[in-house]
Structure formats: C-alpha cells, structure tokens
Amino acid sequence: MSALERFSEATRSWFAASFGAPTPAQEGAWNSVAQGKNALVVAPTGSGKTLSAFLWSIDQLMTAQRPAAGTTSVLYISPLKALGVDIERNLRSPLVGIGHTARRLGRQPREISVGVRTGDSTPKERRDLVRNPPEILITTPESLYLMLTSQARSTLAGVQTVIIDEIHALAGTKRGAHLAVSLERLDELLRSAPSATAAQRIGLSATVEPKEEVARFLGGQAPVEVVAPPSAKKWDITVSVPVPDMALPAAEPAEHGDARTDSQPLAPSIWPHVERRVVDLIAANRSTIVFVNSRRLAEKLTGRINEIWAGRTEHEEPEHPQELAKAHHGSVSKEHRKQIEEDLKSGRLRCVVATSSLELGIDMGAVDLVIQVEAPHAVSAGLQRLGRAGHQVGEVSVGWFFPKHRGDLLSSAVVVERMLSGQIEALKIPRNPLDILAQQTIAAAAMDTLDVESWFEALRRSAPFATLPRSAYEAVLDLLAGKYPSDRFADLRPRLIWDRDAGTLTGRPGAQRLAVTSGGTIPDRGLFGVYLVGTELERAGGDSRTGGRRVGELDEEMVYESRVGDIFALGATSWRIEEITFDRVLVSPAFGQPASLPFWRGDGIGRPAELGEALGAFTRQLHGAAEAEAASRLTGLGLDAWAQQNLLRYLHQMHEAAGAVPTDRTLVVEQTKDELGDWRIMLHSPYGMQVHAPWALAVGERLHARYGLDGAAFADDNGIVLRVPLMDDDPPGAELFIFEPEELEEIVTRRVSASALFAGRFREAAARALLLPRQNPGARTPLWQQRQRSSQLLEVAHQYPDFPVIMETMREVLQDVYDLPALDALTRRISQRKVRLVEAQTPSPSPFAQSLAFGYIAQYLYEGDSPLAERRAAALSLDPKLLNELLGRVELREFLDAEIIAEAERYAQRLSPERRLPSTAGRGAESVADLLRLLGPLTAEELAARLHADDDAVTAQTATGFAEELITTQRAMQVTIQGRQRYAAVEDAARLRDGLGVNIPPGVPQTFLDPVPDPLGDLIGRYARTHGPFTADQLSSALGLPLAVVTDVLVRLIEQHQVVEGLFTPEAQVPVEYVEAGMLRRIRRRSLAALRAAVEPVPQRAYAQLLAEWQQVAPGTRGTGITALAEVIAQLAGLPAPASAWERFILPARISDYTSSMLDELLSRGEVIAVGRGALTGHDGWVAFYPAEDAALIQAPEAASGGPGTPEGLAAAVLSVLERGGAWFPEALAAQLPEAPAEQITGALWELFWQGWVHPDTFTPLRDF
C-alpha cells in the first residue's frame, strides 16, 4: 500500500490534484505517522515537510465522527512566532481544499478549527482559546509552558499529536531543554486523563546532524523513527570577489548621484565594490534576500543599497521605487518585520537585508536569489539561508557569497564545500541544565503536589535530563526549599515545601505567579523599546506589552550614549530622538536626514571546532595541491576567477611570511612588533573561538606566572593574541601554548569563575532558575540593575561550593560555551606530535595576522573607560576611627533619636503592627516559617507577638500549632537554647549545632546537617540585621557565647563592612556599640528628619534664606540625578500637592536635570510610593509621596483629610481583588471581574487611588489624567 492510499478519498483527491505525487519525505513520514510512531522528518527546504506532518492529522480530524469536547487534538510548536503565523496561513489551503473535495464527493466534512497562541496574543484571544479550544493549536515553547502552568492546561488534556518544526533550532539549546520538560509535563497530564496515552511526536528539520541525537531529543525514552530520504537538493552557488586584489583594492569611482560621494574611506576598501555588485544582482532579479551576520551591518548595508539605487534612478521614471531594500532583524518591531515580509512576497519590495531573523522556515514566497555577505558562522546556517531561494519542491537554490576579507574568503570556501556535501556540524543536547530544572519544578509544583520520585522519573524521560544525577536533583530541591540564607538575599527564600517524609513537593504562595511572570529561557538584555512620539500611550496603539506603534528596540548602552535630537537609522528609516524615558525611546521620523548607525552587544559563540578542523584540512590540502588541481577544486565550489586568485595568493603570501600556513596539523606562533616596539605574540589556529577562548585563559595565567605581565589574552575564531613588553631576552614563543591536558583543564576551571563571561552566564542562569524574578513583568528592567542584583546573589552564593546555579554556570561555560573536549583532544595531539607548533618572527604582521590584530585592537580600544573590578583592590584603606578623631567629627549618638532607634528595631523584628504576618486564610504556618527563617529561633510567645489574625491578637497556643505543623513536615524543629524551648527553621540546624553547640533533634534531613562555612558569622550577622545598636555583652548574653568569641566575629564583620563600630544610642553608658550598616542608614535618615523640630528662632530674613536653602531652591543648592530626587521626596514626604504641580514646579525647582523618567524609575523600583489625597476639578488631584521605608507613616484612607470612608460597589470589588496581594494590571483585574466593563474598572481604580487605597508603579497615568 502506498502512503497516499492510507488517506480518505477526499484527501487523496485533493493532494493528487494539487501536487501530483508525494515527495520521498512525505511518503516516509506518512507511513510512520499512520502507524502511530514518533517520527523525525529530515528533508531539504521545499520538500513538503509541513504537509508530511499535518496531513495525516487533518485527515483523521476530517473523518472523525465527533471532536474531543473542549480540548485540542494537534499541537504545533514553532521556535518563531512569525513561523507559527505563517503555518496557520498555509494550513488554510489543505483545510479548504479537502473540504471542497469532500463536498464534491457527496460527503459533508467537519469544520476544523485552528488557533494561534504566542507572546503576541492579546489577553482576550487567550481567554477565547481557553473557552473554545481549537482542534489545531499553533504555539511556541514559551506559550506551551505558560499554558501548562495555568488553568489553560485543561484544554490540552486531549492532545494526540505534537509537531515540532525547525527542531534543530531548539535541540541544542536550553530553550530546547525547557521544551523537552514541558513535553514530559504534557504527557503526565495526558496520562492522568481517561485515555492515559502519551501524545505522538513529530519533528521537522531541513538541516540536522546527528539525526539519532535529535531523535533522542524528540522522543526522550520513547523510540523515534528517522525519516531522512536521500536529498536531491540542487544548488547554484557563486563565491565572488569584485576586486583583483583584496589586500589592495582599487578605489571605486563614485557613481553619478551616489549620496556618499563625499564620504569615501581614506584608504581604498572592498566595501564600495561589494555594495555596487550587490545592487547589480538585486536589480537583475525580482526578489532577493541579503543575509548578514549582525544587525549593525544589516542597517549599514541597507542604507548603502538605497543610496546607490537612488543615485542610479534619480533621472528615471517616477514609478521606479527609490527604496530598493529594507532591513529585517530582531530589533525591528514585529509589525514592521511583518510588513517587510508581505512587501517582499507581493513584489512591492525587491530586497530584504536580514540577519538570522529570516533564517528559519518562514515562507517568503518566490525568492529568486539569496546573497550572503560574510561567511555564515556555521554550515547549517548557510543551508538554511540559501534554502530561502528555490523554496519549492525541485527548484534550484541560487546563492552568492561576498567575503569581506581574505580570511573570510577562506571560510566561505569551506562552508560552501561542506554545504554541497551535506556535512553540517554535530548538534549537542545540553546535559542536565539545573536552572531549567529549577524553573520547571517550581512551575509544576505550583499546579499540583508532586511526588518526588515520580517527578525525578519524568525529568529523566526527557533527553536533556536522561543522566540527571540524584545528587544534583536533590541539590536543586534543597535550593528551592530554602536551604540557602534568604536573610542576605531575599529571592533565595523557599519557593516550595519539600515534605521529606511524604516525599512530596508543593508550591508556596506566589509560586505560580513567579513561574508565569519570570519563566522562559531567553535572556533579558534590558533593551529599550523605540516608539513613535505621541502614540506610546494611545489605547489603540498599545504599549510595550501589546506592541502598538513600536518601531523597534535599542541596546541600553547605545541609549545611554544618545541625546535628545540625535538621529539614528533603524529598519532603513531615519528617526530623531524626542525623549528618553525610563524604559523607552520616543522618536519621530526624520526622512532623508543623515543618521548614525545603532549598535547592539551580541554573544556570538564563534566557529565550532568541527568546522575549524575542516577549515584547517581544506587549507592544508589546497596549499599542497598543484595549481591545476587547486583551481579545479575551487571552480567546483563556485569561486570566480578573482576569488580563486585572491585565495591562492593569500595562502602563498602567508607561507612566504611565516614559513608555514596554519592548518589542522600545523599551528603557527608568530612574533612581531607593534607600533610601540613591544612584542605581539599571535597563535594562528583554525579551531575556532570555542577552543581558543579557554586556551587563552590558561595562556594568560602562564604569562602572568612567568613574566609578571598582565595575563589578558585576546581570542577569536582564528587564534590568540598577547602583548609582551620589549625585553632583553628573546620573546616567549610556542612554550606559552603547550600544556598537559590535565593541567589545562584545571587552569581553565580555576580561571573561568573570575571572568566576565562567568558573571554574565551566572546572571542568566539565576534568572532562569527564578532567583532574579522580574519585579515588574510589564516594564523594562535595566541591564545594569540586573547585573547589580546578580552580583549580590553571586557574592552570597560563592560561600557555598554546592550552590546549584554556580554549578550550572560552570557546566554551561565549560560544555556549551567552551569546547573543552575539543581543546583536550587538540592538546593531546600536540603532545603526541600529531599537531606541530611552528615559530616565526616577522618584521611586519603576516597576512593571517592582519584580521586577528584588528579584533585585538577593537577589544582594547576603550579598555581605559571601564576599570576592571580587580584594579579596585589597590584602593587606599583608612582607619575610620582615627580619621574621625583627626577631622574632629562628632559621634553619631549626638543627633540620633532614641525613640527612632527603638522603632527601627521593632520594625526589623516584625513587632510593628504593619509588619506582623497574617495567620488566617491558611497562611499561618507559612508566616511562621518566614519568621523563623528571617529572625532565627523564637519561642511560641515571640512568634505570637509577630502574627496577626485580622484585628485579633494571636495566642501562643495558636502559634505553637503552626510551628508544630512545620515540625510535622520537617520544615522546623524544637531546640533548647540557654534553657528555653524555641522553634527554629531546619535550615539553621548546622549553624545552631556548630555555632552554639545546640543539640539537634533527630529527623532533621541530612542536607541541613552538612557543615556551613561560617556558622557564627551567619548567626551574628543575622542578629545585627534584626536589631538596633547593641554591645558585645548584649550579643554574648543573647547567644550564650563567650565575650571574646563574639568580639572576634564582630571585628571580622567590621572588616567586611557589614557592621559599623561606634557610639549610637543617646545617653548609653557603654564604651562601644555595634550596628549593622543598613540598619544604621535607616536610623540616621529618620533621626535627621526628627531634628527639624529643634530649630532656634531666627530673624525673618535668615528664616527665608534658610527655607530656600533647605528646600534646595536657592542658587547653588539644587541637586542633580536620581539620588538627589529620592532625597527631595524623602524631605517632602507626606506633603499633598496637586499632581500637575509636582513635575511642573516642585521637583524641577529642586533638581536641575529633572526628567519624568527619574520619578518613574523610583516608583517602579518600589523606592517611592505615590498616594492620592483627593480629586480636584479639571483633571487634577492631591498627591503625596513617601519613601518606601516610611510606608507606615501613610494615613489610612478613613483618617485622611476629606476621606470618604470605605469603598462601595465596584470599587469595593476591585479592592477585594487587590487585597489578595501582589501587583495587578488592569487586564488581570478585568479577568477577575468579568461582569464589569473595562472602562468602569478603570474608573474604580481612579476612585480608589484618590481615596488613598491603591498606589501606581509609575506616574504616567497621572500625567495623562
């Protein structure tokens, strides 16, 4: 039976009329899928893979008697949102066509519903998909995860087939590992349904290797049949060099009308030749895609193409388009990208200049030609990009390569050769990514109580976690259950309850919201959204979450270097900056104006070692071949005459300069002098950045150890560069680069933890593990703030060698970023003399050295602008006590207020009424757990004093019940400290045992009994953070420790700047006191405010002058910057003023450089609270500001002047939703109150704000009120 005969008559007839016969890929796929097997379909672009996956499911749905009620049957997962929309559009043809064919045959087909859910879907669209689930749902990995972590998962309980398109783009990444666990969660959901069967999985890819590894990723433990028929893809590739000599290109004469005739480079460049040749090719074809490797180059090349085209057509007929090309990359808004794609398909646009944003299988219509400027980073990328041309079955893909220099020409030739032979790089599945494990565990436990063993087995069924060690699994559970001290970093607080007796995991309150708002794997780069001015707040236009009139996005560093009035290019259009706010850049069009090019910081991993070895072998064979043989080989690869001449001349000149050419068997160590006469040592190697980067770390350490020189070494795809000052002896050579394999791995592992790469990857891993949650999911989080929070977490985590995120970061760097196995293999081959190192001293840089040196200079060009952290270690250290005596400074206790000190301690001890934790609504046990974790061991009476039950006091007996509940679940323990029974968190077991000698009761899990690095430091540090000024005697009495012991620890904490020594409490008769640094700042700030009442009467003139200076409105007293703004708001705390007056008069009068973004930043960061004090006529009202630490000073709405009392009606309903806790968007409130129109909810929110019940996280609504 042929594969097509398995389908219904209607489907067979439609397919035969539309396509004739199936392709081999479709034949193989249908045979496998029809038998219920999991299948991986690997076939070239344009071989009908989409129908090979979908047609059987469509046929089954068409012929089914009735659909599964309320559930989705087919789940299609795409790595790109645009690709999913493209597939939804392409499915209309078979659905409509088969339906019409069935009616002609006298049968009534079923109507099959198709839905799309991505990050671009509106809340209403998502709700509609839950109410009426489509039979075919098109989504992304992230949206699937969100559905499984919400009530929408019920719509997936009937899924029968899962299709993963472009699977190669996922399998080798953490995003793929995240998806693999989501698929296992989906199967667990399906197994709990009546059908109790896992979904069939189908994977699609045009380029993937090794196929068996990707099949393992697709199926996990389930078998997968690989369908990979022999490829008959036809290529027409040309590698072109438009100049006779790339090393000395002749100046290109300017064309008539070229807009850049007055800005040619000082030295002749190959770029003008390439640009004009590219325009020639675009003009000769109807539809062209030009691929480049960076967003900046996409913008630059697009501008030049349009300038050249405008010069050529300025005297032609008006109907000729002046804009020949547009830029398409990830920083162009999705609306603009979609419009560009549609323009290219319809013929309105002749060319698109794109990065990898068009690399995957989006249908771009009939593309005649693909041009690649600069060699792609991998063979698989080259196949994907050139496959955009000739996208239909049997068509020839026509592509042109334009190298940018001679080294790039060599890389292009190798990539083309491996493309033609189908030799793509091997894909590696990340092994046991612990950050993904942490995130998915929180998400799964937030929805159901998990069995620890069953969850472990479910994880191990997925390919990325197939070898997950039990120790690593339990280490992550320890992290999520609160093993590490959250009193030093709040987001280390427990997210799960791990009942070790019952063997279950349960999410704590807030776990689901955390998993939904901060989940996913794509790193947050802190990019600024770019919006058209005047539309950023229009409801029709949307905002940063819904897209709206968004132009694109810019790198944070570029925005900080930009000013209002600057003009930049984005998407081939010039834009003028009108305003820069906290999270966006507002622009207006500046058509025809000269524009600067934006830049974006990227994280390119570099050339794979496998491709590097192939490049070395190609170089060796080509250099050793006879001239005729070499020419024949290059002609077969599509190199034109000038390309062949340049490539052969390049290798010949390198051999003449250095005596050898770097190949897979020969590496060249070149010693040459730079412009200052110092030595520049360069290792020429083809093995790529993943090998060279870790090698450079070891070389840098050896250079420092042997010569005492700066150990920084630059590495890129083509080698390593070091700078050595001029010395009497011969400069170092090959001996710098020769290591024993075991020695090399040890050095790299030791050095990498102090690198910027490690810090950056740690930040991303911590965010994926939900340890750096988004404080405001709807707003941009600045990258510098992310780095700051990450460094604080890293400082705490470094004290624990088994901290899972540190272990995961090290694994990621050594396995995923670096290729240590390839470096180890290369090192062994060097030691076995299979690879030789050749030294060469050259009077000037060799041909291979020129591009390597260029990258080295670019990296260190601005080095002095950013001092490294280790350089700060040489900062001068002073004795603060001696300095105070020398300067005659007064002791702090002379102006600190004793009552404020006592109040600050009550606040820290959770004894203030507003700081007590709730004990109702099932939250009592969780509140006790938080108290024990934050404050340490407490008695039942002490616990009761820190809890509240609505308006009633909590008894010690009630608190004891909560604590005993925690003991039952092994989350707390009862201990005896200084003869008193106290309750303590199990996380403190090792600290109490090793620090105080407390006897730990049996039954405490072993993980909490493992020794901690500094038990006394932890206990005394916590005491200091939760108390006001104290003496060593008080601390000794509280902890039951000898005075000498606590004094030694306090001295150490003072040296670490955690504790301050001095005299702080007024009238205290003690020689010295200690206070935690953060506590002292709070006490000092509040005491200074209290001193305002003690002012001696003065003449009116002096009072007026003082008032102006005190209010910072007198000349010379105005502040600058956001810190000064925070101080002004603290000074004006509680002052009601019209909302319109704050930014028009009050704040600008006190802050010279005030901008609205400064106030928005303080509000969004939670450092300042805005409180309504009554509405006024004319769209205005009274508003007061408070620093967050003074929130207790805010009057209750009933007590506020003119307060109307308790809200009623819809306002009361809205308030009841808000009182559940957390921050709420209006859309989320509307979802909780579906009976009320959105406009009425907005009105109720304003009513609550003016009454003082609710507070906004930005001032923007009040500006527009």
Closest CA to 36 of 255, 172, 201, 259: 201
pLDDT confidence of residue 889? 43
In this prediction, residues 1226-1255 reach a mean pLDDT of: 83
Closest CA to 331 of 637, 44, 600: 600
pLDDT confidence of residue 728? 63
Pairing status of strand 719-724 against strand 679-684: antiparallel
666 contact partners, CB below 8 Å, separation of at least 6:
620, 660, 835, 836, 838
List Cβ<8 Å contacts ≥24 apart for 631-638.
634/413, 637/237, 637/239, 637/413, 637/416, 637/417, 637/420, 638/236, 638/237, 638/238, 638/239, 638/401, 638/416
Q: Which range scores top for mean pLDDT: 578-592, 851-865, 1191-1205?
A: 578-592
- Provide the token pair at 330: 């990830």
Please report the DSSP string for 557-608 in residue order: HHHHT--TT-EEEETTEEEEEEEE-SSEEEEEE-TT---BPP----------
pLDDT confidence of residue 1217? 83
In this prediction, residues 551-580 reach a mean pLDDT of: 80
pLDDT-wise least confident of 122-136, 379-393, 808-822, 1115-1129: 379-393
| pLDDT tops 80 at residue 866 | no
pLDDT confidence of residue 670? 94
| pLDDT tops 60 at residue 890 | no
Average pLDDT, the chain: 85
| pLDDT tops 60 at residue 68 | no
The residue type found at 155 is T
In three-state secondary structure terms, 918 is strand
Alpha-carbon distance of 905 to 910, in angstroms, equals 9
Q: Does domain 3-227 have CATH number 3.40.50.300?
A: yes
* Overall CATH class of domain 234-421: alpha beta
Q: Is residue 572 very low, low, confident or very high in pLDDT (cuts 50, 70, 90)?
A: low
pLDDT confidence of residue 882? 53
Kindly calculate the radius of gyration of the chain based on its CA atoms and give it in whole angstroms. Answer: 34
Alpha-carbon distance of 688 to 686, in angstroms, equals 6
- Provide the token pair at 1083: 């006490």
| pLDDT tops 60 at residue 544 | no
Share of the chain above pLDDT 90, in %: 43
Count other Cβ atoms within 10 Å, centred on residue 888: 6
| pLDDT tops 60 at residue 168 | yes
Q: DSSP letter at 240?
A: -
Contact (CB, 8 A) for 32 and 218: no
Q: Is residue 1030 very low, low, confident or very high in pLDDT (cuts 50, 70, 90)?
A: very high
pLDDT-wise least confident of 135-144, 173-182, 889-898, 1184-1193: 889-898
pLDDT confidence of residue 261? 45
Residue scoring higher pLDDT (978 or 730): 978
| pLDDT tops 70 at residue 635 | yes
| pLDDT tops 70 at residue 316 | no
Residue entry with tokens 């499911």: 57
In this prediction, residues 71-92 reach a mean pLDDT of: 81
Give me the residues paired with residue 1061 across strands.
1074
What digits encode the pLDDT tens for the residues 48-67? 888 899 999 999 888 875 55
pLDDT confidence of residue 320? 46
Closest CA to 220 of 468, 476, 479: 468
pLDDT-wise least confident of 154-158, 457-461, 547-551, 941-945: 547-551
In this prediction, residues 403-415 reach a mean pLDDT of: 93
Residue entry with tokens 């380029």: 207
Count other Cβ atoms within 10 Å, centred on residue 756: 9
16 contact partners, CB below 8 Å, separation of at least 6:
4
| pLDDT tops 90 at residue 1052 | yes
| pLDDT tops 90 at residue 2 | no
pLDDT confidence of residue 857? 61
Q: Note the pTM of the prediction, 2 decimals.
A: 0.76
Alpha-carbon distance of 484 to 1112, in angstroms, equals 45
Q: Is residue 353 very low, low, confident or very high in pLDDT (cuts 50, 70, 90)?
A: very high
What digits encode the pLDDT tens for the residues 836-859? 999 999 998 899 987 776 666 655
* Overall CATH class of domain 915-1011: mainly alpha
Contact (CB, 8 A) for 172 and 8: no
In this prediction, residues 8-31 reach a mean pLDDT of: 90
| pLDDT tops 60 at residue 877 | no
Supply angle C-alpha 1161, 1166, 1169, rounded to 5: 95
312 contact partners, CB below 8 Å, separation of at least 6:
255, 257, 279
- In 799-909, which ranges are E strands? 836-841
The residue type found at 328 is H
Q: Is residue 265 very low, low, confident or very high in pLDDT (cuts 50, 70, 90)?
A: very low
Q: Is residue 692 very low, low, confident or very high in pLDDT (cuts 50, 70, 90)?
A: very high
In three-state secondary structure terms, 1060 is strand
List Cβ<8 Å contacts ≥24 apart for 994-1000.
995/1019, 996/1039, 996/1040, 996/1041, 999/975, 1000/973, 1000/975
Please report the DSSP string for 445-473 in residue order: HHHSPEEHHHHHHHHHHSGGGTT--HHHH
Q: Which range scores top for mean pLDDT: 124-133, 626-635, 773-782?
A: 626-635
What digits encode the pLDDT tens for the residues 1145-1160? 999 999 999 999 999 9
In three-state secondary structure terms, 1242 is helix
Alpha-carbon distance of 344 to 366, in angstroms, equals 9
| pLDDT tops 60 at residue 1196 | no
Residue scoring higher pLDDT (668 or 485): 668
| pLDDT tops 60 at residue 867 | no
Alpha-carbon distance of 971 to 481, in angstroms, equals 9
- Listed by start position, the domains of the chain span 3-227, 234-421, 528-589, 679-760+811-862, 915-1011, 1120-1263
What digits encode the pLDDT tens for the residues 928-986? 999 999 999 999 999 999 999 877 789 999 999 999 999 988 889 999 999 999 999 99
Q: Is residue 887 very low, low, confident or very high in pLDDT (cuts 50, 70, 90)?
A: very low
pLDDT confidence of residue 753? 83
Contact (CB, 8 A) for 590 and 576: yes
How many residues in total does the chain contain?
Answer: 1265
pLDDT confidence of residue 601? 64
Counts for the chain of helices (H) and strands (E), in that order: 49, 35
Q: DSSP letter at 419?
A: H
Alpha helices in 404-534 (DSSP H): 406-421, 434-447, 452-461, 470-480, 511-518
pLDDT confidence of residue 1063? 87
Supply angle C-alpha 138, 144, 146, rounded to 5: 130
pLDDT confidence of residue 638? 94
What digits encode the pLDDT tens for the residues 378-400? 898 898 888 888 766 667 889 99
Supply angle C-alpha 191, 197, 203, rounded to 5: 110
List Cβ<8 Å contacts ≥24 apart for 1067-1070.
1067/898, 1068/893, 1068/1029, 1070/1031
pLDDT confidence of residue 449? 94
Count other Cβ atoms within 10 Å, centred on residue 1190: 18
pLDDT-wise least confident of 54-63, 546-555, 982-991, 1076-1085: 546-555
Share of the chain above pLDDT 70, in %: 88
Domains 3-227 and 234-421 share a fold: yes
Alpha-carbon distance of 962 to 661, in angstroms, equals 75
In this prediction, residues 324-341 reach a mean pLDDT of: 83
